[in-house]
Amino acid sequence: MGKYEPVLLRSVGVADSRTLAVYQSRGGYAGARKALTQMSSEEVIEEVKRANLRGRGGAGFPAGVKWTFLPKDRTRTYLCVNGDESEPPTFSNRVLMEHDPHQLIEGVIIAGYATKAQVAYIYLRVEFHEQFHHMQTAVDEAYAAGILGKNIFGSGYDLDVYVHRGAGAYVCGEETGLIESLEGKRGWPRIKPPFPAIEGLFRKPTVVNNVETLCNLPHIIERGADWFLGVGPQGSSGPKLFCVSGPVKRPGCYESPMDITCEELIMSDKFGRGMTDGAKVKAVFPGGISMGVLSADELGMKMDFDDPRNFGLLGLGTAAAVVVNTDTDIREVLRNLARFYALESCGQCTQCRMGTSWMYRIAQRIALGAGRLEDLDLFEEVSGRMGMMPGLSICGLPDGATFPLRGLIQKFRGEFEEHIRNQAPGRADELLTVLN
């Protein structure tokens, strides 16, 4: 296989890549110009559908198909760009906005045109300070150049783009949570149906797309769906960003077709370059923490949309891997993850609000050296009784909690049992103060 030429990250390392002048000098906005001046909205949707661009935000739902759910007779449409990137350990959207904000704006224009949206909101998590300034500066530049606003490229299409900042909430990355947050409310996900395509922001038809998904659009329009289908394996075509972090030699965000394995992502010289200090891999969370966990003998998993299911994972997720080495106490990993979900549960659904808290308490007890063997069964029982999959919750957050936490217990049960058998007696007394 020849050397892969990056598409989404092509501007990384280019001087002043954030500016409109540099973006345009490298062929920028040609895709949006082509879409708006040579194609109808329907043709754009058709091309994106044919490319089978699957959503990069986590669920992998085809973007073009999502757009077709909009009612035909609508008069007002909103486009929301999901830049809430809060899934540990994901940072690919950050990299895209840092190095190439105009690529995102071009994707927004194309998606806006395809969905006939009048207004697009780029929802950024508040912790993205630098990225907010980069995005807002780029939006200002685009307005000044007539690329946003009225009659874009002389096509008669008008689009206003506003950058909207969140205020710190994981659940606002869920599309209806994001919509509620945009409306100035708590980021509480909505009961579906109605889906956002029918009744979304301000109760109007709304499309929510991830930053990376939209960044693919200029390239699909410019090079055609056939090019996109030719990149990577069938069913998981197109360029994809992968993140790798933890104790690896070269943590970072890398672009590749989805034909690599998890092991390559960690070990290959093109990506993570192996573990630091000669340590060995104990566990990997390959798709952001919420998709689940792989043990060291499962690293042959392909990083595409389909193979993760064969390993008991929820899906590809955000394709951001965090590696845990053999020096790490698995109980601390469990505790860290359990805390995340307990604190980030929005609290609407009782079994998620209470279930994540119970799991955190059990994880704390185990980590503090006062675990009981029956805690492991209790943990599995609690995690099996929450989420959308048993049909109990409004959004997927509890499912995202279940997969990594239950996966840890199941795949590393022997290790947990060993810790519990070997723990010093008497720790249980200290717990009352910690757990309350």
Binding site for another protein (CB under 8 A): 85-91, 93-94, 125-130, 132-134, 136-137, 140, 143, 160, 162-171, 181-187, 201-202, 204, 243, 245-247, 251-253, 285, 289, 320, 322, 324-325, 328, 332-333, 336-337, 340, 343-348, 353
Q: Sort strands 320-325 and 281-285 into parallel, antiparallel or unpaired.
A: antiparallel
Q: In angstroms, how far is CA 76 from the centroid of its own chain?
A: 27
Nearest distance in Å: CB 99, another protein: 12
Shortest separation between residue 136's beta carbon and another protein, angstroms:
4
Dig out the tokens for 172 from the structure.
């606002």
| Alpha carbon distance 143, 121 (integer Å) | 15
Rounded least distance, CB 6 to another protein, Å: 16
Q: Which residue's CB is nearer to another protein, number 343 or number 373? A: 343
Write down the least CB distance from residue 322 to another protein, Å. Answer: 5
Amino acid at 436: N
Min. distance of Cβ 251 from another protein in angstroms? 4
Rounded to an integer, what distance in angstroms lies between the CA atom of residue 141 and that of residue 102? 9
d(CA 369, CA 261): 36
Q: Which is nearer to another protein, 34 or 419 (CB)?
A: 419
Based on CB atoms, which residue is closest to another protein, 114 or 253? Answer: 253
Using alpha carbons, select from 230, 207, 241, 315 the residue that is nearest to residue 51. 230
According to DSSP, the β-strands at 252-257 and 239-245 are antiparallel
Q: Identify the three-state secondary structure at position 20.
A: helix
Distance, in Å, from the CA atom of 280 to the CA atom of 282, rounded to the nearest integer, reads: 6
Residue 89: asked if its preceding bond is cis (omega within 30°), the reply is yes
Sequence-ordered list of residues with C-beta below 8 angstroms from that of 271, at least 6 positions apart, any chain: 242, 244, 250, 252, 254, 256, 260, 264, 265
The burial of 15, by beta-carbon neighbours within 10 Å (0-12 exposed, 13-18 middle, 19 or more buried), is given as: exposed
Q: 54: which DSSP letter?
A: B
Task: Evaluate the omega torsion of the peptide bond into residue 193 and state whether it is cis, within 30 degrees of 0.
Answer: yes
Minimum distance between the CB of residue 57 and another protein, rounded to whole angstroms? 14
State the Cα angle at 220 between 163 and 102, rounded to 5°: 30
335 bridge partner residues: none
DSSP state at residue 202: G
Nearer to another protein, 68 or 137 (CB): 137
Q: Which is nearer to another protein, 35 or 333 (CB)?
A: 333
Contact 321, 266 (CB under 8 A): yes
Q: Which one, 233 or 347, has the nearer CB to another protein?
A: 347
Tell me how many degrees the CA angle 215-218-224 measures, rounded to the nearest 5. Answer: 125
